[in-house]
Amino acid sequence: ANIAGQVTYRNGTVVYVNGAAATAAQATVVAPGAPGAVPLTIGLLSTPGAANLYFANPDPTSGAIDAGSVSGRILSGQGNAAGINANGPILTGATHLPISALQLDAARAGIAVPGTIVATRVGDKTSGYPEYSANFTANYRFPGEGWLRGLSVGGSLILGWKSRSYYYYATPLTRANALTLPRTLLYAPDRRQANVFASYARKFGRFEWNTQLNVANVFDTYERVIMPDAATGFNNLTNLRVTWYGQPRTWQWTNSIKF
């Protein structure tokens, strides 16, 4: 942004948007002389409210702009190829900037920077895997010379308990309690997945045909789980996300011929 608080392209040209937009679809970048054109400003990005389509909806803890918001799409250059090509990108591409480099109006946008956030403490449990797990696999090949010769059947059972995901703050984080506030370890749902397969091989002269059917997650067991934000826990609905644990049942049939 320039000293007037107007968002600019890399070369300093001001970004103009449709100030008369009534819907998100109409809230786009426009030419400076277009009807209703107004500069995109830090004030617009920072001001919440249903009437302001250009509110950046920043993360209340980090100040990160919501990439899915109207302004987030504009800043990334979506639908503005001509402006980007002529003036350079709007976003600088700089990363690892200190929070002091935040340009949004934190008070107006509802951003409460907590100060130091603990990433790990002595005694923390490692995460990313279950504390207890087991994997059972079995395969049976039919013997003999009959029509069952070449047939194999089998399956596997995958089990996991107390899978550690990550630590999060269950209580809102502030500057005053950032270093001392205890964190909660999130555990993923226990895993119980059964898989089966069957294969058959048969020779026809100098040709050998092999076919195999794999069915993963036979009982179609999976969960969609609401995940807390690492800094705000379940206290801020806009920071929550949903993830899948397990995948729906899948079928895979493969065939090959050797000669």
pLDDT tens string 13-70: 999 999 999 999 999 999 998 999 999 999 999 999 888 999 998 877 777 888 889 9
185 within 8 A of 127, measured Cβ to Cβ: yes
Whether residues 103 and 221 fall in one domain: no
Residue 194 lies in a domain: yes
Whether residues 159 and 242 fall in one domain: yes
Whether residues 8 and 56 fall in one domain: yes
Whether residues 209 and 102 fall in one domain: no
250 within 8 A of 213, measured Cβ to Cβ: no
- The pLDDT value given to residue 159: 96
30 within 8 A of 40, measured Cβ to Cβ: no
Give the domain-ending residue among 81, 113, 145: 113
Q: Is the pLDDT of residue 220 over 80?
A: yes
Residue 118 lies in a domain: no
- The pLDDT value given to residue 96: 63
Average pLDDT over residues 175-185: 85
Give the domain-ending residue among 63, 79, 113: 113
Spatial separation of the C-alpha atoms in residues 216 and 155, rounded to whole Å: 9
Domain of 3? 1-113
Residue 238 lies in a domain: yes
Whether residues 134 and 250 fall in one domain: yes
Residue 119 lies in a domain: no
Residue 156 lies in a domain: yes
Higher pLDDT, 118 or 198: 198
Short-list 77, 73, 94, 93, CA closest to 85: 77
Confidence tier at 211 by pLDDT (50, 70, 90): very high
Whether residues 61 and 139 fall in one domain: no
Give the domain-ending residue among 58, 79, 113: 113
C-alpha distance from residue 158 to each of 128, 132, 166, 218, 223 (Å): 16, 11, 22, 12, 16
Higher pLDDT, 65 or 256: 256
- The pLDDT value given to residue 110: 74
- The pLDDT value given to residue 38: 94
Spatial separation of the C-alpha atoms in residues 56 and 91, rounded to whole Å: 14
Whether residues 10 and 100 fall in one domain: yes
Ramachandran angles phi, psi of 86, nearest 5°? -80, -35
Residue 125 lies in a domain: no
Spatial separation of the C-alpha atoms in residues 87 and 5, rounded to whole Å: 18
Whether residues 151 and 227 fall in one domain: yes
In the chain, the number of structural domains is 2
Whether residues 71 and 147 fall in one domain: no
Residue 120 lies in a domain: no
Whether residues 77 and 107 fall in one domain: yes
Q: Is the pLDDT of residue 112 over 80?
A: no
**3-class DSSP assignment, residue 212:** strand
Percent of the chain with pLDDT over 90: 49
Average pLDDT over residues 91-95: 71
